[in-house]
Amino acid sequence: MKARRRILLSGLLVVATLGLSACNGNTDSEKRLLAALHNTEKLSNTFLYKETVHDKTGDHETDVRGLVEDDFRYKARVAQDGRPVLDEVVSDDALAVRFLDPASLGRFLRKPTKARQGGSGVGGNGAAPTPEPAATSAGTPGEPQPAELLATKRWVLDSAGAPSAFATAATDQTLGDDPIADSREVFAYVERAINEAVRVVEFNPESLEYRKDEDPFETPKPHSGVTRYDFERPSLPKASQTGSGSNQVTPDTRHFRKMSVYVKDGRIIRVAEKIDVESRLKDLAQIYDTKFPADRPKAEVAAIAVEALNVIRTGQGQDPIRMRDMEFSLKDLGSAVKVDMPTDTTKGSLALLENRGRPADAANGVLEASALRAQAAAPPAPAPAQPAG
């Protein structure tokens, strides 16, 4: 508990320092929005985080519903395409997890250890990543392993396994890897989006720059007391910057982001985001001197374009563009929200899950996660031959 609080306080000092320097030159709208963000992020609440990802295979929805008592106590349920898959409860250092759909465990497994230098991305030296060691047992002989317990939809309690309050340099976290972490980091994500936007303005349908046909978000109702703040995205990189080679500049998420944040009584109540590639297909075609098929739906063409951009981005060691709609809504701000740990738990290490478990158990967690991946990838055993009769 003390260690996690030290991490949190260190993170707050860094954020505060950056925030002070960033405030220089911010517009009045940005200052009001930042003030609302900082007023809200420490309040107890109930929340709904909804993300719909669009790719060539279709739409995929992930929801996280939960409640937050404070920075060290929260409860969340993850659902994929309407199907509950995971419950997680954190209280101080303790973490309890159960998989309502054990087939979804693979999404949350700890990733293989990467070499500190190497790979072909930015900063790599071309060396191959360190191979994983052979998987061995990480538990007490004769007792059920955490993976076996999770596969039976039972609660597993790790008394010191709560996720870190702030990501560290060693955390390999990409948007979409862990929906609970994404839902818990929305405020930090919004603050980064403020810094990445050209500017933030109050919603004004009478503005000469407002285009109703390009606005995907809800308009605040009259006399509701809700103020909407809109983010203006930057222009795409120029064609001269997008030449061939590993140093070419590719569009980033910020170039496609439409975001609006809704504030009432000085507190954030809703965040809406759309990574809109469709509206910039014409610009992309001009920049890359290409033609997109005119006889295919725009959504399909946008997915193809993003896939091509992500090949370049991941080759450069950058995060892929995630074409998505996201909505984060908050209720019961500052109310008496209480998080209780489940009582029907079995103790075990949850280090096989990414960013969970004690740091001292991480090596064993990698091994256990590796064994589960190998087991899932192995072909099924052939059926025994029937005796001749």
Q: Read off the pTM.
A: 0.83
Residue 288 located in a structural domain: yes
Strand partners, 50: 63, 327
User: Is residue 389 assigned to a domain?
Assistant: no
Number of compact structural domains in the chain? 1
Q: Which residue matches tokens 């098929």?
A: 293
Burial class (CB in 10 A: 0-12, 13-18, 19+), 33: buried
Whether 380 maps to a domain, the answer reads no
Q: What percent of the chain is modeled with pLDDT above 90?
A: 65
| Mean pLDDT on 129-154 | 67
Strands 58-70 and 199-202: unpaired
Taking CB atoms within 8 Å and a gap of at least 24, the contacts of 274-278 are 274/216, 274/217, 274/324, 274/325, 274/326, 275/321, 275/322, 275/323, 275/324, 275/325, 276/216, 277/302, 277/305, 277/306, 277/321, 277/323, 278/302
Q: Residue 30 is encoded by which pair of tokens?
A: 């940005």
Average pLDDT over residues 88-117: 87
Report pLDDT digits (tens) over 152-196.
Answer: 999 999 999 999 764 444 455 688 999 999 999 999 999 999 999
Lowest mean pLDDT among 114-123, 236-245, 250-259, 333-342: 114-123
Q: Residue 19 above 50 pLDDT?
A: no
Residue partners of 56: CB distance under 8 A and separation at least 6 = 300, 303, 304, 307
Residue the block writes with tokens 């908050």: 330
Cα–Cα distance measured from residue 249 to residue 313, given in angstroms and rounded to the nearest whole number: 9
Report helix, strand or coil for 131.
Answer: coil
Residue 384 lies in a domain: no
Distance in angstroms (rounded) separating the CA atoms of residues 281 and 289: 12
Residue at 110 is within a domain: yes
Q: Can you give the residue range of the structural domain that contains 44?
A: 2-375
Q: Are 161 and 357 in contact (CB under 8 A)?
A: yes
What is the token pair recorded at 308? Answer: 């091509």
pLDDT band at residue 346 under the 50/70/90 scheme: very high
Nearest CA to 227 out of 201, 191, 195, 208 is that of 201
pLDDT at 240 over 60: yes
Residues with Cβ within 8 Å of residue 27, at least 6 apart in sequence? 199, 200, 201
Q: Identify whether 357 is part of a domain.
A: yes
Give yes or no for a contact between 111 and 365, defined as CB atoms under 8 angstroms apart: no
Whole-number Å distance between alpha carbons of 356 and 362: 8
Alpha carbon distances (Å) from 350 to 159, 172, 219: 10, 17, 43
Task: Decide: 374 and 136 in contact? Cβ < 8 Å.
Answer: no
Q: Is residue 255 part of a domain?
A: yes
Domain annotation covers residue 113: yes
